[in-house]
């Protein structure tokens, strides 16, 4: 049985308290989401941590219909009207913390890169958390995503408009 793994970037900063609480939310339900045992869809994993995230002050997506999604503004148009937004799985507006929970397509379809791009475009977002499977089709998605962010932050060639990125492996 695997365990919850996590890495916070940049590595020169300590993970904020809210990030540690998010990690704990995953630890509390690990026996029900462990990717060594289960092949859950991302929405199933999100449901398992919803109560804990809401307790921490997050708004959490409750379904796939328009009114159940969390819309984070990206662009404002005429008279300040919302012109463009991206959906998030969970959002803590006070801390500016977006969480995206991924499953099988996290690495296969580079969903983690889309999550990064969208978080960088979102208004008032300071932190991004991406949860990925530890085990998917005989590879470790968590290690692959962490290696990518290690390279991104070590190269220092791309400056992100985020204070931090949390990667969680479940």
CA dihedral over 43, 45, 48, 51, signed as positive or negative: negative
DSSP string, 129-166: EEEE-S-BTTB-HHHHHHHHHHHHHHH--S--S-SEEE
4: pLDDT strictly greater than 80? yes
pLDDT of residue 66 exceeding 80, the answer is yes
* Distances 27 to 6, 16, 43, 93 between C-alpha atoms, Å: 11, 17, 17, 23
For residue 152, whether the previous peptide bond is cis, meaning omega lies within 30 degrees of 0, is no
Residues in the chain: 170
Per-residue pLDDT band for 1 (boundaries 50, 70, 90) equals low
For residue 97, which of 152, 169, 165, 11 has the smallest C-alpha distance?
165
Confidence of residue 140 (pLDDT cuts 50, 70, 90): very high
Mean pLDDT for all residues in the chain: 96
Maximal CA-CA distance, the chain: 54
Cβ atoms of 99 and 136 within 8 Å: the answer is: no
**pLDDT tens track for 92-138:** 999 999 999 999 889 989 999 999 999 999 999 999 999 999 989 88
Q: Which of 41, 32, 4 is nearest to 20 (CA)?
A: 4
């Amino acid at each position: 049985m695997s365990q919850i793994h996590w890495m916070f970037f940049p590595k020169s900063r300590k993970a904020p308290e809210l990030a540690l609480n998010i990690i704990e939310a995953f630890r509390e339900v690990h026996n029900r989401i462990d990717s060594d045992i289960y092949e859950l869809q991302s929405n199933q994993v999100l449901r398992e941590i919803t109560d804990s995230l809401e307790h921490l002050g997050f708004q959490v997506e409750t379904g796939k219909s328009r009114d159940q999604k969390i819309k984070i503004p990206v662009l404002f148009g005429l008279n300040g009207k919302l012109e463009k937004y991206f959906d998030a799985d969970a959002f803590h507006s006070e801390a500016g913390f977006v969480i995206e929970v991924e499953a099988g397509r996290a690495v296969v379809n580079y969903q983690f890169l889309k999550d990064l791009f969208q978080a960088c475009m979102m208004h008032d977002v300071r932190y991004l958390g991406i949860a990925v499977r530890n085990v998917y089709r005989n590879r470790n998605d968590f290690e692959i995503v962490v290696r990518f962010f290690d390279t991104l932050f070590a190269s220092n060639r791309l400056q992100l408009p985020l204070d931090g990125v949390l990667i969680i492996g479940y």
